[in-house]
Structure 1
Amino acid sequence: MTIGPPGTNAVSAASVDKGVGPLLRAWRERRRVSQLELAGRADSSARHISFIETGRSRPSEEMVLRLAEHLDVPVRERNSLLLAAGYAPHYPETRLDDPALDALRAGVQRLIQGYEPYPALVVDAGYDVVAANRGIAMLLDGVPESLLTPPLNAMRLTLHPQGLAPRIRNLPEWRGHLLAQMERQIALHRSAPLRALYDEVAAYPAPEAVSGGGPVEPGEPVPYFALPMLIEHEGRTLSFVSSISTFNTPMDVTVAELAIETFLPADPATAKYLHGLAG
């Protein structure tokens, strides 16, 4: 699978209408930072921060960006803060298929292909898959075409009762992990499309994990160093732990919202099996 254009999330007009002060206060409270602490980080004063939050003082563009940086505000939301303060957005949102991102697309494609035979994929802010390698294609064997129609969605593919869910042997644990991950993203980004996706996948039936066939006998200690995804493939149970990477200091909304997820074999048998398929 190759990289395609990601979905977008429009800036909320309602958020902009609130003014920058309440938005900044909400981010500060979310980060559990006092006005005094934020002032120290941003080389300002608690009084000035208070005046900004109550609307008695209009912050400069530089101050908005400085406060957003110290509050670790996502790039898309930094643009919302600037708009609410009466300034133009600072960060562009370039389509992923734009020639300006040729180097990014090529680099990401090389990265996930180099990870083969282990699975790796790239998703956008709505968990739509924008790139995936042959390891992911292997895991999707047998998934109905109705779920493979672009845009593929990683959460839907994983949790749908006709997707990977029936083959995930520790589905209750893995499902709980994915839903908690989405909840954290919703709290951070306040995205209506992401909330709709969460409501959809959370409503899917959640059957008990399939019994038997696992790599560990009952009563034996679990040898995993992180929660694994235990998934059946052609009569074998494969075990993976996942890692998610993002770009450092992104200067574009699209780039900021990309995430690369790699699946590392959690036991020697899984690694051997995947290398055997590739050989």
Structure 2
Amino acid sequence: MTTMPVSSAAAPAAGRGVGPLLRAWREQRRISQLELALRADSSARHISFVETGRARPSEEMVLRLAEHLDVPVRERNALLLAAGYAPRYPETPLDDPALGALREGIERLIQGYEPYPAVVVDATYQVVAANQGILMFLEGVADHLLEPPLNAMRLTLHPEGMAPRIRNLREWRGHLLGQMERQIALHRSEALRALYEEVAAYPVPDDATGPEAAAGEGAAAYPYVALPMLIEHDGRTLSFVSSISTFNTPMDVTVAELAIETFLPADPVTAKYLQNRSD
């Protein structure tokens, strides 16, 4: 498994004070002061005082409010710093010996998933691990996109990447950009926003088609349970649906920002082809 350090995502500036930051998170989540107070076993008056700077929340209160506001782990550290406390969550490099068991578990997981493709990415879609199944997606990708660090969004949407072979590019592109938009709203990452603006500006061919027209002979006969990625490979069109897994209740920033994306065959034709390749 190839690993590399997880890149840092931008966090809210600590100099603003914890009150305005908490208010911004609350407003983004569309939760009233009263609702947040009820969730956090506090009072609307105290929440108001914290947000306006009239009261300094305890370290426990900062963490409790962050939990009920579903603040990502990296940004919880930023809230603690803004309140005058030490960060609670470490950011351990993925190649650190302390994460050895995690790396081994991820490697076993994605290798066991073969012949189906699987990839592991960080918060800005840098590829930190992948299995052999992913190689079929990289057919014809320009060399400069394969230079480390690999970025999954660039590989997929760049006109010299996978994009020319994705037969339902408009739909798949829309799915990926929507996914990034939701993550930007959650994480407030400037690095992720810069990546989004870059890949969203890539040109889309005028002849990019929808999934029904692009499915091709055979595949169109099968109903899709989710939006598939239809990709040309070795003279045929393969169809995949993807699933993304993250770690529950992470206590480390690096671990919190890892995502494992696996691709399942979306029709029997693709499943049979992959099985034959592995025999």
- Fold similarity call, TM over 0.5: yes
Match of 2:264 in 1: 264
Match of 2:223 in 1: 223
The two structures have a TM-score, normalised by structure 1, of 0.95
Contact 1:168/1:210 (CA < 8 Å) preserved in 2?
no
Contact 2:246/2:256 (CA < 8 Å) preserved in 1?
yes
> After superposition, what is the alpha-carbon deviation per residue over 1:39-84, rounded to whole angstroms, capped at 9, x for unaligned?
1111111110110011100000000000000111000000010011
Match of 1:214 in 2: 215
Alignment of 1:8-19 (within 5 A): 8-12=8-12, 15-19=13-17
Q: Secondary structure at the match of 1:262?
A: strand
Q: 1: CA distance between counterparts of 2:193 and 2:209?
A: 29
Q: How many residues align?
A: 276
Match of 1:80 in 2: 78
The two structures have a TM-score, normalised by structure 2, of 0.95
Aligned partner (choices 120, 123, 126) of residue 122 of structure 1: 120
Amino acid at match of 1:86: G
Q: 2: CA distance between counterparts of 1:29 and 1:8?
A: 25
Match of 1:195 in 2: 193
Q: 1: CA distance between counterparts of 2:214 and 2:15?
A: 56
Amino acid at match of 1:214: A
Offset at 1:222? 6.3
Contact 1:216/1:222 (CA < 8 Å) preserved in 2?
no
Contact 1:52/1:58 (CA < 8 Å) preserved in 2?
yes
> After superposition, what is the alpha-carbon deviation per residue over 1:238-258, rounded to whole angstroms, capped at 9, x for unaligned?
001111010000000000000
Q: 2: CA distance between counterparts of 1:30 and 1:92?
A: 26
Q: Secondary structure at the match of 1:172?
A: helix
Q: Secondary structure at the match of 1:90?
A: coil
Offset at 1:31? 1.1
Alignment of 1:11-90 (within 5 A): 11-12=11-12, 15-90=13-88
- Root-mean-square deviation (CA, aligned residues, Å) is 1.7
User: Structure 1 segments of 4 or more deviating over 4 A?
Assistant: 210-213
Alignment of 1:74-223 (within 5 A): 74-207=72-205, 208-209=207-208, 214-215=215-216, 223=223
Offset at 1:11? 3.9
Q: Secondary structure at the match of 2:243?
A: strand
Amino acid at match of 2:251: M
Contact 2:62/2:80 (CA < 8 Å) preserved in 1?
yes
Q: Secondary structure at the match of 1:121?
A: strand
Q: Which runs of 5+ in 2 are unaligned?
A: none
Match of 1:234 in 2: 234
Offset at 1:139? 1.5
Contact 2:11/2:188 (CA < 8 Å) preserved in 1?
no
Contact 2:10/2:190 (CA < 8 Å) preserved in 1?
no
Amino acid at match of 1:112: I
Amino acid at match of 2:194: A
Q: 1: CA distance between counterparts of 2:229 and 2:104?
A: 29
> After superposition, what is the alpha-carbon deviation per residue over 1:211-263, rounded to whole angstroms, capped at 9, x for unaligned?
97624679x77610111100000111000111101000000000000000000
